[in-house]
Amino acid sequence: MNRLMTASLLALATALPAQAETFRWAATTDPQTMDPHAVSSAPVLGFLNNVYEGLVRRGRDMSIEGALAESWEPLPDGAGWRFNLREGVTFHGGEAFTAEDVLFSYQRASSEDSDVASWFSPVSDVVLVDDFTVDILTSSPQPIFPDSIANWMMMDSGWAAENGAERPARDAENYATRNVNGTGAFMLQSRQPDLETVLVPFDGWWGEVEHNVTEAVFTPIQNSATAVAALLAGDIDLIDPVPVQDAARVNDADGVYVLDGIEARVIMLGFAHDHETLLNGDPNIFADVRVRQAVSHAVNVPAILQAIMGGVAEEASQLVSPAMRGYSEALSERPAYDPDLARSLIAEAGAEGANFTLSCPNDRYLNDEAVCQAIVAMLAQVGLNATLDAMPVSNYWPQLREDNFDMYLLGWSPGTFDAEHPIRFLVHTNGERLGTWNFGGYSNPRIDELLPLIQSEIDDSARQAMLDEAAQIIQDDAVYNTMYVQPLLWGVRDGIELTQRPDNFFILRWVTVGAEN
Amino acid sequence: MLSFILRRIFQSVLVLLVVGLVAFAMFRFVGDPIDTMLGQERTLEDIDRLREQLGLNKPFFIQYWDFLVRAVQGDLGISYRQGRPVAEIIAERLPATLELALVSGALALFFGIVLGIFTAIRRDGITANLVMSISLIGVSLPTFLIGVLLIYGFGVGIDIRIPFTDMTFNTGGMPTFGRGDTGEIFGWTTGFATWDGIQSIILPAITLGLYQMTLIMRLVRAEMLEVLRADYIRFARARGLGDRAINFRHALKNTMVPVITVTGLQLGSIIAFAIITETVFQWPGVGLLFINAIQFVDIPVMAAYLMLISVMFVAINLIVDLLYVFIDPRLRVS
């Protein structure tokens, strides 16, 4: 009896280290909801990608791969797409995943209260061919439709109906706000909003397990100094982000390292194209393409990257970064820093000594206000007197929408990871559904003509030719002064291996917790 | 007495109504919640519909009236950010703030009074002067900095070499953020239920209480010095009473009236200004909730928090007024 107990105790002791791999991570914002269709923001969709799954998902290199669909092919004549579903998949609650759930998730995600309904604007109908085949019909050919639904997550229809969560709720709480029933590799064990969310592996997951995490604890930590301290003290295994100014210090510290990469977000300057006058009543200098081009030549992007971004960001020559689909190779060079050229362009346009306002958020992008201050100084060197107006982002968007700006800072991360996305929202003539972020009111009939063609072109090289043409027009007209792609900086404890993706989604199933050394 | 209380309650309600009105007038300047609520791909139609749905297109006094009508029925609305009832969120977060405020208030009161008496009695002693000088840190360093210094000093830790040996001693080990593990005692979620929770409250409580401690200490000292010069203390000495009786029974008791006023009002401000400490330590209380609400322009949460804080201030004032009557018998006569 005694010997038996000793033996089992020994077995327990040796088994323990391999067993308990608790992984703790922290980010600035808490995912506001656990409902995959209620809020379309990176913290929410990124977090929920660990517990819910879509028909397709993005791999480590952002490429599209099958998740709940094993394969998919376009229907003849561009009528839509057929998805062949994976069989034998179960939800965390044990329910089987079938085509019914796809139809339900479509109805839920495209309903009025959904925040992701825009993904389905080209969809005309969803047809169930059999239990494991679904046709998604579109009103026009949609070559990149599978790419655009990588974050459309599947919810069990029976579970939702049972708990009264058939529709996402915006002004009331609903069962899906705090409870999860997905098919993902992790299940929600407990959730205290704003405080702590605990995930555990789902034993019945269909995929091949690559991680060794037995419990994952997420905590939001807003203050970056606190997050860095928690990482250094060993209370947290991963923090996102490490402030640029602390990156070197964290990298030098024992037991932790900084993982850096490039995000999908391009930071640019926008202009008041269609304003009659500037805010101060002077003639609008930005209606003149030469002034906009001068700004591109006047901003010393390498200096900004070195001095403010810690040398980890990359220059951006167009509205999307090189990792995105449809990036224009021909335009990989940003207009060079050339203050003399900028001065002569300004002289030609007769805009020397013009006074105007540069609007800028101070809590939205990495070091946004510091970047704007640098830009004001650089513009002063070529004879443009910009006054900085920096404000919190909650005031910033209303100001832009009300046309209270001359020149402004904007960051754009294409939700579809495709070059068509910024053209649709930033460049197309401002309207109800298209050009909704084109605050400056730029309008070019050729762009408006190209956009629907790009959206429905099936042939890849013909599509790329049109994207190249659009990118060329945008650069020639200096519609935006694209400056750099924002860096990603994660602080990680030694011994932890993981994958950092440009969309800044933290994917738990790629984490391995190793020995600490 | 009853009419006094009734009059004070009437005044309090008036104060509350005015606070609410001012708050609702200010919310527009905090920003527009619509943009943070809707994703990147929103259409102008979505913006208009949501604004209509939330009643944000109405003038602020109508929004305030709607809020009041629902509030008196016990409905504080739904948080824009979390999509959950505000009353429920505040009930979840309030224990953390109250615990932090009470612990730091108790620390401040205890050390403030003890050190105040000490520095008053030993006015010219070296230790007393040292305490007075060090206490300047408490009033002069911003809370934010004290918090970060404590986290680095006792959370992350500094390696100190023990003299004449090769061994180093690390000063760290305290939790760097959060409230630790919590348990339930009589249905109240508390950090006192676990050792981890008790450890977690120490650094934030010191950070939050340091300023109050200094304030109380200086107040007690000044009052004590004043009283010790009074005639009745001189007579007491002449009668041959012992130091202990003079200092504690006679002098200390008479310094307590202003100390209670200040402490009472400070307790209110400890709760209200716990915001900074809570942010630095990621302490999950209502202060952190309020900061989040401001960033998101979560109007229902902001409104509920501001009302809660003003109720608290008004209530504390009322209690302090009643305590006066209790402590000072002269007020009872009139």
Closest Cα in chain B to A229: B156
Q: Say what the pLDDT of residue A190 is.
A: 94
- Which residues on chain A are in Cβ contact (under 8 Å) with B305? none
Q: Say what the pLDDT of residue B249 is.
A: 80
Distance CA A112, CA A167 (A): 9
Question: Are the Cβ atoms of B78 and A33 closer than 8 angstroms?
Answer: no
Distance CA A98, CA A80 (A): 20
Q: Tokens 């102008």 belong to which residue?
A: B44
Distance CA B137, CA B225 (A): 22
- Which residues on chain A are in Cβ contact (under 8 Å) with B143? none
Distance CA B123, CA B121 (A): 5
Q: Say what the pLDDT of residue A10 is.
A: 43
Distance CA A382, CA A398 (A): 31
DSSP A168: -
Structure tokens at A192: 């205290």
For chain A, the distance separating the N- and C-terminal CA atoms, rounded to the nearest angstrom, is 40
Q: Say what the pLDDT of residue B161 is.
A: 81
Q: Tokens 């992790």 belong to which residue?
A: A186
For residue A216, what are the β-bridge partners? A23, A199
Stated pTM of the model? 0.88
Q: How far is A195 from chain B (nearest CA, A)?
A: 7
Structure tokens at B216: 């109380």
Q: Say what the pLDDT of residue B181 is.
A: 82
Q: What is the DSSP string of A117-128?
A: GGGGTTEEEEEE
Q: How far is A457 from chain B (nearest CA, A)?
A: 22
Nearest to A239 by CA among A263, A221, A266, A216: A221
Distance CA B105, CA B280 (A): 19
Task: Count Cβ atoms below 10 Å from residue A387 Cβ, excluding itself.
Answer: 13
For residue A57, what are the β-bridge partners? A65
Q: Say what the pLDDT of residue A158 is.
A: 94
Structure tokens at A337: 């820093």
Task: Count Cβ atoms below 10 Å from residue A317 Cβ, excluding itself.
Answer: 21
Sequence-distant (6+) residues with CB within 8 A of A131 are A98, A99, A100
Q: What is the dihedral of CA A464, A470, A474, A479, to 10 degrees?
A: -120
Distance CA A495, CA A501 (A): 19
All residue ranges of chain B with pLDDT < 50 are none
Distance CA A440, CA A512 (A): 47
Distance CA A153, CA A104 (A): 11
Q: Say what the pLDDT of residue A199 is.
A: 97
Structure tokens at A354: 């013009």
Please, what's the b/e burial string for A120-155 (b: 16 or more CB within 10 A of its CB; e: otherwise)? bebbeebeeeeebebbbbbeebbbbbbbbbbbbbbb
Question: Are the Cβ atoms of B291 and A38 closer than 8 angstroms?
Answer: no
Question: Are the Cβ atoms of A394 and B292 closer than 8 angstroms?
Answer: no
Question: Are the Cβ atoms of B42 and A436 closer than 8 angstroms?
Answer: yes
User: Does the CB of B38 have a partner CB in chain A at under 8 Å?
Assistant: yes
Closest Cα in chain B to A421: B41
- Which residues on chain B are in Cβ contact (under 8 Å) with A436? 42-44
Question: Are the Cβ atoms of B38 and A230 closer than 8 angstroms?
Answer: no
Q: Say what the pLDDT of residue A2 is.
A: 47
Which of B37, B38, B156 faces A233 most closely, judged by CB atoms?
B156
Question: Are the Cβ atoms of A229 and B43 closer than 8 angstroms?
Answer: no
- Which residues on chain A are in Cβ contact (under 8 Å) with B284? 192, 194-195
For residue A81, what are the β-bridge partners? A74, A136
SS3 A416: coil
Strands A64-66, A56-58: parallel, antiparallel or unpaired by DSSP? antiparallel
- Which residues on chain A are in Cβ contact (under 8 Å) with B92? 192
A59 within 8 A of A72, measured Cβ to Cβ: no
Q: Which runs of consecutive H residues, i.e. helices, occur in chain B?
A: 2-30, 33-37, 44-54, 60-72, 86-121, 126-140, 143-150, 195-228, 231-238, 243-244, 253-272, 274-280, 286-296, 299-327, 329-333
Global ipTM: 0.86
For domain B2-30+76-333, the question of CATH label 1.10.3720.10 is answered with yes
Residue of B36, B38, B40, B299 to mutate when probing chain A, most A C-beta within 10 A: B40
Question: Are the Cβ atoms of A170 and B295 closer than 8 angstroms?
Answer: no
Q: How far is B210 from chain A (nearest CA, A)?
A: 20
User: Does the CB of A254 have a partner CB in chain B at under 8 Å?
Assistant: no
Q: Say what the pLDDT of residue A1 is.
A: 41
Distance CA A256, CA A491 (A): 7
Q: From first to last of its 517 residues, what are the pLDDT tens digits of chain A?
A: 444 444 444 444 444 444 558 999 999 999 989 999 998 888 999 999 999 999 999 999 889 999 999 999 999 988 999 999 999 999 999 999 999 999 999 999 999 889 898 899 899 999 999 999 999 999 999 988 999 999 999 999 999 999 999 999 877 788 999 999 999 999 999 999 889 999 999 999 999 999 999 999 999 999 999 999 999 999 999 999 999 989 989 999 989 999 998 888 999 999 999 999 999 999 999 999 999 999 999 999 999 999 999 888 899 999 999 989 999 999 999 999 999 999 999 999 999 999 999 999 998 999 999 999 999 999 999 999 999 999 999 899 999 999 999 999 999 999 889 999 999 999 999 988 899 999 999 999 999 999 999 999 988 999 999 999 999 999 999 999 999 999 999 999 999 999 999 889 999 999 999 865 4
Q: Say what the pLDDT of residue A11 is.
A: 43
